[in-house]
């Protein structure tokens, strides 16, 4: 069946019937835990412009890099266990990148130890979400993102809660709380999951019998690094006009479409 055309998602409930758009040449659908390419496409349309530097500190099969380059953005990817030549080996808690170089950061981290990645000791996917080390490790990643991101620019974290070993860990809520200590909240989107598990009857039967819920959505947590105090306080710009500098800071649209007028909120 042909895939529907991509369009900008306009509510906080995002859905697309396939993991990948078009021929699916973004990242690898065979990589366990690959990010849906259409999610990255939507984010880059909203929060970046051509030639912006997009950074993915946990790049995996490189979905972010492929979508970014296709859209004319520059892209850098890191991973503790790179699976392609254009992803550099680095721990997301210590990136070989200068301060404030990134115009947008995308992260799809391990959700605790729900999937096995490389098995390396520095892989955050070795840390159980219900244990003591996972959230401090993710906070160290967020500190590094804070360092490399330009003020006023956005980051997005794609993640899923886990229900494992008879315990629910609200990863989305807990990561959101950690992020809000460093960044300004921009929005919180629920992305409908269409994975194979959800199509299997035995999983639904187990969910009924054991009284738990299968994960129906992923969180997409969108934040912005605050402007430097001097830039906002010392500005002599007229408050009514949106300057070019503001466009950069707020993350412009690249589609050329006009934003509809607000009728109150
Ligand atoms: C959910 S996958 C990312 C999927 C990727 N966005 C894609 O589309 O293929 C999480 C990735 O985080 C990587 N990772 C885990 N711990 C890391 C760390 N400390 N630093 C950098 N990458 C790490 C894993 O190797 C894995 O590739």
For residue 208, give Cα distances in angstroms to 46, 204, 212, 213: 39, 6, 7, 8
* Domain membership flag for residue 89: yes
Other beta carbons within 10 Å of 85: 7
Domain assignment present for 185: yes
Give the contacts of 84 (CB within 8 A, at least 6 positions apart).
61, 62
Tell whether ligand 1 has an atom less than 6 A from the beta carbon of residue 163.
no
Q: Which of 30, 123, 159 to mutate to test the pocket of ligand 1 (most atoms within 8 A of CB)?
A: 123
* Position 59 in a domain: yes
In a domain, 13, yes or no: no
Range of the domain at 107: 23-250
Q: Is residue 261 part of a domain?
A: no
Please tell me the residue having the least CA distance from ligand 1 atom 27.
60
Model pTM?
A: 0.86
48 found inside a domain = yes
Whether residue 31 has its Cβ less than 6 Å from ligand 1: yes
Asked whether 95 lines ligand 1 (CB < 6 A), one says: no
**Ligand 1 in reach of 110 Cβ (< 6 A):** yes
**Tokens 């984010």, residue located:** 43
CA of 127 from ligand 1 middle (Å) equals 13
At 67-124, the pLDDT tens digits run 999 999 999 999 999 999 999 999 999 999 999 999 999 999 999 999 999 999 999 9
What pLDDT does residue 188 have?
A: 98
- Name which residue leads in pLDDT, 46 or 248: 46
* Ligand 1 neighbour 65 (Cβ under 6 A): no
Pocket residue to mutate for ligand 1, from 80, 191, 219, most atoms within 8 A of Cβ: 80
**170 burial level (CB within 10 Å; 0-12, 13-18, 19+):** middle
3-state secondary structure of 16: coil
Has residue 31 been placed in a domain?
yes
Ligand 1 contact via 88 beta carbon (within 6 Å)? no
Q: How would residue 254 be classed by pLDDT, with cut points 50, 70 and 90?
A: very low
Query: Residue 224: beta bridge partners?
Result: 154, 184
Length of the chain in residues, anyone?
265
- Please report the pLDDT score of residue 197 as a whole number: 66
CATH of the domain at 219: 3.40.50.150
Query: What's the total number of domains in the chain?
Result: 1
Q: Check pocket membership of 37 for ligand 1, CB cut-off 6 A.
A: no
Distance between Cα 137 and ligand 1 center (Å): 13
Asked if the structure places residue 103 within a domain, the reply is: yes
* pLDDT on residue 39: 97
Q: What is the dihedral sign for C-alpha 218, 225, 252, 99?
A: negative
The pLDDT assigned to 196 comes to: 66
Is the C-beta atom of 34 inside 6 A of ligand 1? yes
């Amino acid at each position: 069946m042909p895939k529907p055309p991509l369009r900008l998602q306009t509510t906080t409930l995002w859905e697309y019937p396939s993991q990948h758009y078009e021929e699916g040449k973004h990242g690898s659908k065979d990589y366990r835990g690959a990010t849906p390419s259409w999610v990255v496409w939507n984010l880059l349309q909203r929060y970046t412009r051509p030639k912006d530097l997009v950074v993915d500190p946990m790049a995996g099969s490189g979905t972010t890099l492929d979508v970014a380059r296709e859209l004319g953005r520059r892209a850098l990817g890191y991973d503790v266990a790179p699976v392609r030549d254009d992803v550099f080996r680095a721990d997301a808690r210590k990136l070989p990148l200068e301060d404030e170089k990134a115009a947008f950061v995308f992260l799809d981290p391990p959700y605790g130890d729900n999937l096995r990645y490389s098995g390396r000791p520095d892989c955050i996917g070795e840390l159980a979400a219900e244990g003591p080390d996972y959230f401090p490790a993710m906070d160290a990643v967020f500190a590094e993102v804070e360092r490399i991101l330009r003020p006023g620019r956005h980051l997005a974290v794609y993640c899923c809660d886990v229900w494992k070993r008879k315990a629910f860990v609200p990863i989305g809520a807990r990561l959101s709380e950690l992020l809000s200590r460093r960044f300004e909240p921009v929005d919180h989107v629920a992305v409908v999951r269409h994975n194979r598990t959800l199509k299997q009857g035995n999983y639904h039967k187990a969910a009924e019998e054991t009284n738990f819920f299968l994960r129906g959505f992923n969180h997409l947590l969108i934040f912005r690094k605050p402007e430097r105090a001097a830039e906002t306080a010392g500005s002599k710009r007229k408050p009514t006009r949106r300057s070019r500098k503001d466009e950069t800071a707020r993350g412009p649209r690249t589609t050329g479409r006009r934003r509809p007028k607000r009728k109150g909120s």
